[in-house]
Structure 1
């Protein structure tokens, strides 16, 4: 075991988390980790089952004297977001995560860490194996594929669980209790294009926009970070109009729920405009570095000569694409009126990729008010239909409406105040927690989401604060001691 991680407290939780980092578990490819958790439950002698969709459920009886407490579901998702820096060699389906400690945080070497939601999963595993913690009946629910479709939550059937309370351990700020979340929708736009011959007397370049922070498209969207796709197409519009540049291919972003950190374009430039083109690249690099100096200090934009591509995107399709991406909304659309500091609606222009005579544009729309989210969908549909693209929406999931009469909220506020001398912040979150979906299947559940402090989830800068993990764990243990009676 990694010597650094093994020294952290609570030891059992970090041991379980470390074990998860050694098992590849990207979304939709997390079965090895699910199998490990199944074996974990069976080895403890606990009732363990896998439902029809692939979620793992492990049930643990109450400790002596706690049998009359309400049943609690401890819930986290098994999968993690597979993001790495372009210069990092890592296969998320085969390679373990390389963890290390840095200035009070656990992070990874050039990849996402998987603390989202590995810490929550490890905490539930630690409760299951503990012989010291006082608790009522426990049902641990480990869902699959949260990050790319929430198919585990959507596939959970009523009747499998008998709980009254759900403790979701997938939020990312210690000292905050989340009582509501945003719903979401996937937008898929497709342009068909013709392949045309490259022009004579042209030079091919690869434009690379790299070094952006990226991050979680819900949690981090309010931070004003650069979007690699928006920045790339802003540049492309300029050089196409000024110098007759032609686009051969585009590859920007990789995951719908991650703010795109990198974008790459192969273009051809008329030979007599090469000098002006390269000067414009340098000028835009300075413009972007100036505009985003505070949020993107490592931004890099460069163009290097490359091998001539075999074909170009036809000019009409090229122009329709460039204009549509330049006009596409991105980032925060509206802030909430009812909860200060909460984003109400947002749009992440996540992926733009050309391949096999098609260009795919993929966005993730989030909204805590369904009607407002639908308005953003309508805006996007109008824009891309005008540009000649096919538009489809999929994967819609509901938000989670706060319950001001929540009994578990009252309990957890009192426990937190007793342990730490202050009242936790009560918040909504602009992210797609599974609570809304799970609550639709189990409408009787009283739900709270909480967790340790995690920064830059969904990016290679992901890190979890060590001190807050210990604090989160202690808070969970004390909460389980104080669960209300049936």
Structure 2
């Protein structure tokens, strides 16, 4: 047993969480964790199945006296966002996550923790292992590739699940029951690279934005966090005024994360280098002042590049790219008029990469309003096209319309009141839960989503609160026990 979970309760849950943390599970590489679940279910003599997309269901028979209770599905996703600090050596395809306990939280050593959605997976596995849990018939549904576009849920075989009540264990706020979520799309711009030889005698430099918190581009889009790509672009625009020529820009890692770091390689005439350092120092101070309250770790660094690039971007292409990024909105676009505090519509500049022959910019839009989602996608698309990019928009995923009369919601509310003598909050979330797609794939599914307190998901600062997990576990078991 790892020291990080030693003595934590419920022990069976934390043992399962540690077991899956040891199994690499990036999106698109869920085979090992899937095989682990199938093998363990087989050892326990449980019925299990897998569809063509890799989604898995394990069926648990009812405990004595609960045979006539309607079946409930516990749903979680197997994959995790793979982010790490720049100085952390970690291979997400082969290395286990190193768990750490820091006071009241469990976190990881320089990487994402995978509590999103390892909490849900560990819950299902612990219930599978724990013979003392009282429940009716259960289906444990594990989906794949949630973090890279909800692909598993989109291709879920409806015949895999017979339940018509589903507990989605993929939320991050204790005491909140989610009954609705945003839909979303990705809008990607690509520029064909045109290059010129680097001017002879020019100095090669590397400009880096780092130290930002990053985070989930839905759940934390309203926090005012710094976007490394947008900040980097502000600096590049200023340096372009000194004649700087850009060779490459790379920043962000995930379409659904606010980018924490961005780096650019550029060249500058020797006589402009001192002025460039002054500009960067001034902008660095500006960024620090702007983000002092919400993202105080921001750093803007200009330093010599180890190897000078042989070519730089064509000046017209460079101008198009920088002006386009400057023009793109990023952040909250509209708050909900119906639910206080809920972001209705947002957009995020997520990832930029310089490839061999293309420069690629990935953006992500979300909204709980289908028409507003269309509007913000079209806005981003128009800006990219005006900037000379070839634009592609993803198929996207649907939102989940709230049902305040849901029988499963009423059961969950009653169980929470019985346990904690207060009412849970009923909410919608500005993120793409799989519930919207599952409800489309399996019409008539009654769904509620909840989880324990987590913070900084999709970043190396991801953490889950230990005592909150214990209360969440009791809540799950109370619902299963009380279902009629």
Give the shorter-chain TM-score range.
Answer: over 0.9
Alignment partners' CA distance in 2, 1:316 and 1:369: 37
Alignment partners' CA distance in 2, 1:385 and 1:188: 10
Match of 2:297 in 1: 298
**Helix, strand or coil for the counterpart of 1:106?**
strand
Is residue 159 of structure 1 aligned with residue 146 of structure 2? no
TM-score (normalised: structure 2):
0.99
Match of 2:99 in 1: 99
The answer to whether the 8 A contact 1:27-1:144 is kept is yes
Deviation at 1:248, TM superposition (A): 0.6
Is residue 272 of structure 1 aligned with residue 288 of structure 2? no
Q: How does 1:11-22 map to 2 (within 5 A)?
A: 11-22=11-22
Q: How does 1:396-435 map to 2 (within 5 A)?
A: 396-435=396-435
Q: How does 1:149-228 map to 2 (within 5 A)?
A: 149-228=149-228
Q: How does 1:101-140 map to 2 (within 5 A)?
A: 101-140=101-140
Alignment partners' CA distance in 1, 2:24 and 2:49: 21
Match of 1:69 in 2: 69
Deviation at 1:482, TM superposition (A): 1.2
When the two structures are aligned, how many residues end up with a matched partner?
483
The answer to whether the 8 A contact 1:21-1:96 is kept is yes
Is residue 89 of structure 1 aligned with residue 89 of structure 2? yes
**Helix, strand or coil for the counterpart of 1:159?**
helix
**Helix, strand or coil for the counterpart of 2:140?**
strand
Alignment partners' CA distance in 2, 1:354 and 1:160: 41
**More displaced, 125-134 or 328-337?**
125-134
The answer to whether the 8 A contact 2:252-2:259 is kept is yes
Deviation at 1:200, TM superposition (A): 2.4
Match of 1:281 in 2: 280
Alignment partners' CA distance in 2, 1:208 and 1:385: 27
Alignment partners' CA distance in 2, 1:193 and 1:48: 49
Residues 369-414 of structure 1: per-residue CA shift (max 9 Å, x gap): 1110010010011111111110011141000000011011111111
Match of 2:343 in 1: 343
Alignment partners' CA distance in 2, 1:380 and 1:435: 26
Alignment partners' CA distance in 1, 2:269 and 2:320: 21
Residues 261-312 of structure 1: per-residue CA shift (max 9 Å, x gap): 0000001111111111111011111000011001111111111112321100
**Helix, strand or coil for the counterpart of 1:54?**
coil
The answer to whether the 8 A contact 2:214-2:226 is kept is yes
Residues 42-71 of structure 1: per-residue CA shift (max 9 Å, x gap): 111100111111011100111111111111
Q: How does 1:441-460 map to 2 (within 5 A)?
A: 441-460=441-460
Deviation at 1:170, TM superposition (A): 0.1
The answer to whether the 8 A contact 1:180-1:402 is kept is yes
The answer to whether the 8 A contact 1:149-1:395 is kept is no
Residues 196-228 of structure 1: per-residue CA shift (max 9 Å, x gap): 101124211000110000001111111010000
Residues 104-134 of structure 1: per-residue CA shift (max 9 Å, x gap): 0000000000000001111011112221111
The answer to whether the 8 A contact 2:76-2:142 is kept is yes
Alignment partners' CA distance in 2, 1:208 and 1:189: 22
The answer to whether the 8 A contact 2:4-2:106 is kept is no
Alignment partners' CA distance in 2, 1:183 and 1:391: 20
The answer to whether the 8 A contact 1:6-1:15 is kept is no
Alignment partners' CA distance in 2, 1:265 and 1:256: 19
Alignment partners' CA distance in 2, 1:320 and 1:280: 22
**Helix, strand or coil for the counterpart of 1:416?**
helix
Deviation at 1:193, TM superposition (A): 2.1
